[in-house]
């Protein structure tokens, strides 16, 4: 009888916290895709992305999504969109996942960070490695442009968001960093194309990372109850052995 009580107590300890735990994904998510960049839009080709494989390219719960795909919305008017995005709610379902197991998880886009490189660097000539630029037309751009050589460069931008569990209503902050490499163009060349009304098509990689999730008070209480239950079971077992 006491053995059953001890076993039941262990079951309570394990199951109670799990039952209260939210299904939000924590960790680091890496994915890739293709983007079309113009003066007014960052358009993701087919509005899809591929989550990197193998699993060790992901961290935490995101390892379960490796090798799958997701959907992502375009970012419109990026030169004027730095700062809060459609306050106060942001853009719901900015990122969703096609794996049915995670259909209840999405990322809301809330803030587009302005670039941190000086606008003065955009006038550098001729192109050379190490030059940096954040365009300022007509407002601070989200892009950080850097020349890796006279004929190659990278562009990056950062966003803030909220990961949402539609089943429980739980949320957690998440940050995202997008990077696009240009192996055959300086950022001066890229700016020339975009300012002339053209579009630059490039592969991109993105890394999203969650903040630590603090256990809810109810979860902590249930954990304490579980520990108490197993302690009582062990106490009763010792007493029965003495008798």
d(CA 137, CA 188): 14
- Give the per-residue pLDDT at 53: 85
37 and 130 share one domain: yes
Q: Is the pLDDT of residue 241 over 80?
A: no
Q: Is the pLDDT of residue 18 over 50?
A: no
CB-based contacts of 40: which residues, under 8 Å, 6+ apart?
Answer: 76, 77, 78, 79
229 and 119 share one domain: no
State how far Cα 5 lies from the chain centre. 44
Cβ proximity of 10 and 241 under 8 Å: no
Give 145-176 pLDDT, tens digit per residue.
999 999 999 999 999 999 999 999 999 999 99
99 and 191 share one domain: yes
87 and 103 share one domain: yes
Cβ proximity of 161 and 94 under 8 Å: yes
CA separation, residue 95 to residues 50, 69, 175, 203 (Å): 12, 11, 12, 18
18 and 72 share one domain: no
Q: Report the 10 Å Cβ neighbour count for 51.
A: 23
82 and 148 share one domain: yes
135 and 85 share one domain: yes
195 and 226 share one domain: no
228 and 128 share one domain: no
150 and 100 share one domain: yes
117 and 227 share one domain: no
Domain that holds residue 53: 24-212
88 and 197 share one domain: yes
Cβ proximity of 52 and 31 under 8 Å: yes
- In 3D, which of 42, 34, 70 has the Cα closest to residue 208? 70
Q: Is the pLDDT of residue 213 over 80?
A: no
**Could you give the number of structural domains in the chain?**
2
Contacts by residues 113-120 (CB-CB < 8 Å, ≥ 24 positions apart): 113/82, 113/142, 113/157, 113/158, 113/159, 113/160, 114/82, 114/83, 114/140, 114/141, 114/142, 115/82, 115/140, 115/141, 115/142, 115/143, 115/144, 115/145, 115/157, 116/144, 117/144, 117/145, 117/146
Encoded tokens for 109: 């886009």
Give 24-54 pLDDT, tens digit per residue.
999 999 999 999 999 888 999 999 999 998 8
């Amino acid at each position: 009888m006491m053995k059953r009580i001890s076993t039941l107590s262990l079951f309570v300890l394990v199951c109670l916290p799990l039952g209260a735990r939210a299904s939000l994904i924590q960790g680091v998510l890496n994915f890739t895709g293709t983007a079309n960049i113009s003066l007014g839009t960052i358009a993701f080709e087919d509005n899809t992305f591929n989550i990197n494989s193998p699993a060790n390219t992901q961290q935490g719960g995101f390892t379960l999504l490796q090798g799958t795909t997701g959907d992502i919305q375009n970012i419109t008017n990026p030169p004027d969109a730095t700062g809060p995005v459609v306050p106060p709610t942001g853009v719901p379902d900015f990122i969703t996942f096609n794996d049915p197991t995670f259909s209840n998880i999405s990322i809301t886009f809330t803030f587009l960070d302005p670039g941190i490189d000086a606008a003065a660097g955009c006038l550098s000539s001729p192109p050379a490695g190490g030059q940096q630029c954040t365009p300022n037309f007509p407002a601070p751009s989200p892009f950080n442009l850097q020349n890796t050589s006279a004929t190659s460069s990278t562009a990056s931008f950062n966003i803030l968001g909220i990961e949402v569990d539609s089943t429980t209503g739980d949320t957690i902050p998440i940050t995202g960093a997008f990077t696009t490499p240009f192996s055959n163009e300086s950022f001066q060349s890229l700016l020339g194309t975009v300012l002339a009304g053209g579009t630059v098509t490039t592969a991109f990689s993105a890394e999203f990372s969650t903040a630590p999730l603090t256990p809810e008070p109810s979860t902590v209480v249930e954990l304490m109850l579980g520990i108490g239950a197993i302690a009582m079971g062990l106490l009763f077992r010792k007493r029965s052995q003495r008798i």
